[in-house]
Structure 1
Amino acid sequence: MDRRGFVKGVGIAAAMLGLAGGSSLAPGASPVRADDYSPSPNSLLYRVLVPEIFAPLPDPADHVPAIVVGSGFGASIAALRLAQSGTEVAVLERGSRWPNDPWRNIFAVDTIPDGRGFWHRTTFTGVTRAPVSFDSFGGVLDVSNYPGIDVWRGACVGGGSVVFTGVMIEPEQRFFEHVFGGAVGYREMHDVYYPRVRDMLRPSPIPDDLYHSVAFAHSRAWDDQVRAAGYLPQRIDGMWNWNIIRDELAGRSQPSATVGCSNLGNSNGAKFDLNQNYLRYAEGTGRARIYPGHRVDAIAKEPGPSGRYTVALTKLAPTGEVLRTRTLTCDRLFLGAGSIGTSELLVRARDTGALPDLNEHVGEGWGSNGDVGLARPLTSLELGTQGAPSASRILDEAGTPVSLESWFIPGVTPFDITTLGSLGIVLDDTRGRFVHNPADGRVDLQWPDNGAAGYLARALEVNDKVACDCPPIALRVIGGDASFTSHPLGGAVIGRATDEYGRVRGYRGLYVMDGAAVPGSTGTVNPALTISALAERNIEQIISSGE
């Protein structure tokens, strides 16, 4: 890195940390925000860059035996296993289906975002707490703003697998059992369903040659710091195609994962997202079809003896233009729209009388997974680029259990600067609830005032311990931010809103397949592996039992 770039990076890092010594980078999240469908001035440019998402969108049949809402981890697993069992499936996804290519600029880059990055909004405040502006478009990351917390979630075919950091970790048994409270047995998950998901998604630790490359100098510095503080860093599994990352470093692909791109997608397909496995295999059966640009607005039970469900939807162009509204019917309805989307649909259906027999647990038990964004000084003189895959984690059980994972710093610069990023995940029991507002029809998240205060303090305690042991001198210039989560969980918790296999109580043929079923936490680890294993477990039982 040249001197000018380094000085600029220092300035950005200082702004990021708010180096006034406070423990939080921001006072809180934004008010609740409606989607912004104003026309994008860049639509013509996007048509040139990604013509595939502007192709005519197919329409599902008026009636389908099974509808899956969403296309993330739980939804894609349900779609594949249903199709393999002989069921015709329609997968409804509000976002676009984005291609991959080693040389094209398909996705926005994290450091200079545009409308391709975000779902119909014009501003975003990320971990830097510095707002950025761009045009409104149907991009891949949706940010739902609620009083006290912002929630990041996928809005594209592949859901969260396109915009997450690829981490796939199985929780420790004691933490799993604390969270699930006996509703799901750890042993069957460990012996059968976690391995089943690993066989499909092939997560693995970062290879040594990449770990020692210029793109992961920050990962090595992170490991050195935690070792100096008395921790033993553990390599963690990531859902990455390491050969594509090697191609980036060798000049055989445009850089992406090696220069701080992950949260807004990887154009070259470096992330082994669901489009490359579960969804592809589901379509390969000939019985599952994916319908991008189809936003599900409401669900209900069809009047009369048919037992069918109705699904009201809006067909959207990526520009936000409404192309069509219609209502479909299905015999069985599988909800996989993510914790927020699934909870919204269920709470609205119950409170408007569309599904009046949903129980009082629907909308309850929502948690942030104890997520905290953390930063501390980079004390190494070895600088490189910001490789996005996470290499290591530590676990601290001296107080409330908390893990820290090595992280790149999203949205700042492709290069290492003066700080190291971490994601803290605290075993936290703080919970929110979803409430329907009859005046405007919205379903809002009620998060406790200062709901993150306890787990923010605990994560900062561990981060501070590491920072104070940083060689060559002890430093306490650190920061933490718990005003967002990228791991929303709960709202239709298994064993409460549903039975022990995701069947929604009160309604035959209605199922929850995603993170809404998880009780607010996955026990100090990222939730993707557990959501997926739970979906594999539940859909196996649903198919074998026939109900």
Structure 2
Amino acid sequence: MGDNTLPKRGSNGISRRGFLGRTGSIIGAVALAGHLSPAAAQAAAAAAPGPIGDGARVPVLVIGTGYGGSVAALRLAQAGVDVQMIEMGMNWDTPGPDGKVFPKVTSPDYRSFWLRSRTKAPLSNFLGFPIDKDVPKYTGILDAEDFAGITVYQGRGVGGGSLVNGGMAVTPRRANFAAVLPSVNADEMYDTYYPRANAGLGVGMIDPAWFDTADCYQFSRVGRKHAQRSGFAWTFVPDVYDWDYMKREAAGTATKSALAGEILYGNNAGKKSLVQTYLAQARATGRVTISPLHKVTTVSPAAGGGYTVAIDQLNTTGDTVATKTVTADRVFFAAGSVGTSKLLVKLKATGALPNLNGEVGKGWGENGNVMCGRANHMWDPTGKLQSTIPCSGIDNWDAGGAFAEVAPLPTGIETYASFYLSITKNPNRAEFTWNAATGRADLSWQTAWKQPSITMAKTIFDKINSKEGTIYRTDLFGGNKIWNDTLTYHPLGGAVLDRATDNYGRLHGYTGLYVIDGALIPGNASVNPFVTITALAERNIEKIIATDLP
């Protein structure tokens, strides 16, 4: 758009009504295509222009390239709007010395962690020995961000968390939805926006017959047997991995990824991250530009309208190599729950955006995440070959407040161990506040607040251990610990919908500022949250396009 303004009705032949009228056919095409091929995604990325320039004026600036930001960018571009996306992490498109873009879980190196000199894996010990190691400081793919009482694991790079998660694409049970997002119409979500999100993400389910015979899912079948013998509901869980590709991996006709220990630091094949889905389609419109290794430091009203955005350009050791100031007519905060919350409390406290309301920074939770392992009997081996993609879970949400993902432990050797990541109804919520003395945002979470999660998870695993005559593993997290109670993979909240924002993510106090990521969800999604984040973004951006664009 030559005039760098949001499109007027009918400009370039596009109107809000026209966009909304085409939505059905767009989604239908996504559902049929599933995702762009890796070659098509790389071609779209290669065609993208260079990073944003100092002094630029843009119609829309999106901070972050995770689920919410990717949805916003795609739908705005399809509505005829030029979009600039700012991403703090790298564009992961260049192979390392091993010829792979991403390393294995068992071989972390400089690519693995965001600006750390030593790895910090969620499973820190094995057979009682520490497994973390020194690595060169680098803008790696996984950020283990430490706060006073918790470490928050986040993806760093174009695609955000979709690069490093297990891809478990779970729609919450409808009965639980009112507790997740009480101000949102459940009928609309389940009839329109969850289906739209699942189509856009390329969600699919494992073939049950193949599951029953595949060596790589013996660990999950053991989990099913133990759950069902203790009277728990066990369920398959959808995922965004290409299940046909995994079958070819197992057959030896495709390069192994999930079966080669790839997940925590990225998958080189098979997994449909946002790079292959929403972002590939967004780039293909020709209206979306992504600037990797750029970090937004402040946002404030511009004298001539819109917002002045200050940005640091980073190198791969985290140094600032350039500073840029750009102007955006509208800004979407999509840096993830932690990134968005930290930035907003800074902007309010430092006077850049003083009219943000008192709800900014509040309502943060960790989705009740807690990890544990169990030591099985010798007659219950879990397999030395384990797919890194989980596909099942144990549901005791109604009776005990816990849902447990039957997780892999892809060590390459037989461990006789069952490993679980639980999501629980932990009621505790923390708050981000700006610490002027340190120049950073603090989080009020306390490790002791994990006790409700442990109690809820124990409603599953105490019973299984009693039934099977087994015990908890104490060699996985250091210090003879049974529970990893100092982490989360699922940060949520900090700019809660209908509190810090209106019911569609518009920040109170300012026109043209929006939150469109997991910061909107108040602390707990009852399941792995990224499908809900995506669906909520689809709902919100549709409303914003229909009502806020001139």
TM-score bucket of the superposed structures, by smaller chain? 0.7 to 0.9
Output the CA distance in 2 between the equivalents of 1:124 and 1:444. Answer: 23
Matched to 2:344, the amino acid is: L
Q: Which residue of 2 aligns with 1:5?
A: none
Q: Which residue of 2 aligns with 1:73?
A: 67
Q: Which residue of 2 aligns with 1:3?
A: none
Q: Which range moves more in the overlay, 313-322 or 215-224? A: 313-322
Q: Which range moves more in the overlay, 71-80 or 222-231? A: 222-231
Offset at residue 73 of structure 1 (A): 0.4
CA offsets, 1:488-512, max 9 Å, x none?
0000000000000000011100000
* Maintained 8 Å contact 1:351/1:436: yes
1:106 aligned onto 2:101: yes
Alignment partner of 1:142: what SS? strand
Change (3 A) 1:378 1:261: farther
Alignment partner of 1:274: what SS? coil
Offset at residue 439 of structure 1 (A): 1.5
Alignment partner of 2:256: what SS? coil
Q: Which residue of 2 aligns with 1:511?
A: 514
Q: Which residue of 2 aligns with 1:23?
A: none
1:485 aligned onto 2:479: no
Alignment partner of 1:312: what SS? strand
CA offsets, 1:407-455, max 9 Å, x none?
013xx61344121111110012110100101113101111135111111
Change (3 A) 1:494 1:389: same
1:230 aligned onto 2:231: yes
Offset at residue 383 of structure 1 (A): 2.1
Change (3 A) 1:507 1:475: same
Q: Which residue of 2 aligns with 1:445?
A: 443
Output the CA distance in 2 between the equivalents of 1:211 and 1:400. Answer: 28
Change (3 A) 1:387 1:333: same
Q: Which residue of 2 aligns with 1:9?
A: none
- Aligned-residue Cα RMSD (Å) equals 2.2
Matched to 2:213, the amino acid is: H
1:338-417 alignment to 2 at 5 Å?
A: 338-379=336-377, 380-381=380-381, 383-397=383-397, 399-409=399-409, 413-417=411-415
1:173 aligned onto 2:174: yes
* Maintained 8 Å contact 1:204/1:236: no
Offset at residue 308 of structure 1 (A): 1.2
CA offsets, 1:5-64, max 9 Å, x none?
xxxxxxxxxxxxxxxxxxxxxxxxxxxxxxxxxxxxxxxxxxxxxxxx999992214111
Output the CA distance in 1 between the equivalents of 2:265 and 2:219. Answer: 21
Output the CA distance in 1 between the equivalents of 2:349 and 2:104. Answer: 40
1:516-531 alignment to 2 at 5 Å?
A: 516-523=519-526, 525-531=527-533
Q: Gaps spanning 5+ residues in structure 2: where?
A: 1-44, 125-129, 475-481
TM-score, normalising length: structure 2: 0.84
Q: Which residue of 2 aligns with 1:97?
A: 91
Alignment partner of 2:111: what SS? helix
Output the CA distance in 2 between the equivalents of 1:55 and 1:481. Answer: 43
* Maintained 8 Å contact 1:57/1:292: no
Q: Which segments of structure 1 move beyond 6 Å, counting only runs of 4 or more?
A: 53-57
CA offsets, 1:284-318, max 9 Å, x none?
1111111111111222222x2x2211211111222
Q: Which residue of 1 aligns with 2:213?
A: 212
Output the CA distance in 1 between the equivalents of 2:507 and 2:337. Answer: 15
CA offsets, 1:160-203, max 9 Å, x none?
001000001111223221232x3112221111100001111121
Matched to 1:540, the amino acid is: E
Matched to 2:279, the amino acid is: L
Alignment partner of 1:444: what SS? strand
Offset at residue 274 of structure 1 (A): 0.4
Alignment partner of 1:539: what SS? helix
* Count of aligned pairs between the two proteins: 486
Q: Which residue of 1 aligns with 2:138?
A: 137
Change (3 A) 1:465 1:398: farther
Change (3 A) 1:485 1:209: same
Q: Which residue of 2 aligns with 1:327?
A: 325
Output the CA distance in 1 between the equivalents of 2:278 and 2:364. Answer: 27
Alignment partner of 1:405: what SS? strand
CA offsets, 1:227-286, max 9 Å, x none?
111123111100101232223223334432113321110112x11000101001111111
Matched to 1:179, the amino acid is: V
Output the CA distance in 1 between the equivalents of 2:421 and 2:212. Answer: 19
Change (3 A) 1:55 1:118: farther
Matched to 1:140, the amino acid is: I
1:58 aligned onto 2:50: yes
Change (3 A) 1:399 1:55: same
1:204-353 alignment to 2 at 5 Å?
A: 204-207=204-207, 208-210=209-211, 212-268=213-269, 270-302=270-302, 304=303, 306-353=304-351
Matched to 1:390, the amino acid is: P
* Maintained 8 Å contact 1:469/1:475: no
Offset at residue 122 of structure 1 (A): 1.4
Alignment partner of 1:222: what SS? helix
Output the CA distance in 1 between the equivalents of 2:421 and 2:148. Answer: 22
Q: Which residue of 1 aligns with 2:543?
A: 541
Q: Which range moves more in the overlay, 139-148 or 167-176? A: 167-176
Q: Which range moves more in the overlay, 103-112 or 364-373? A: 103-112
Q: Which range moves more in the overlay, 76-85 or 199-208? A: 199-208
Offset at residue 534 of structure 1 (A): 0.3
* Maintained 8 Å contact 2:308/2:327: yes
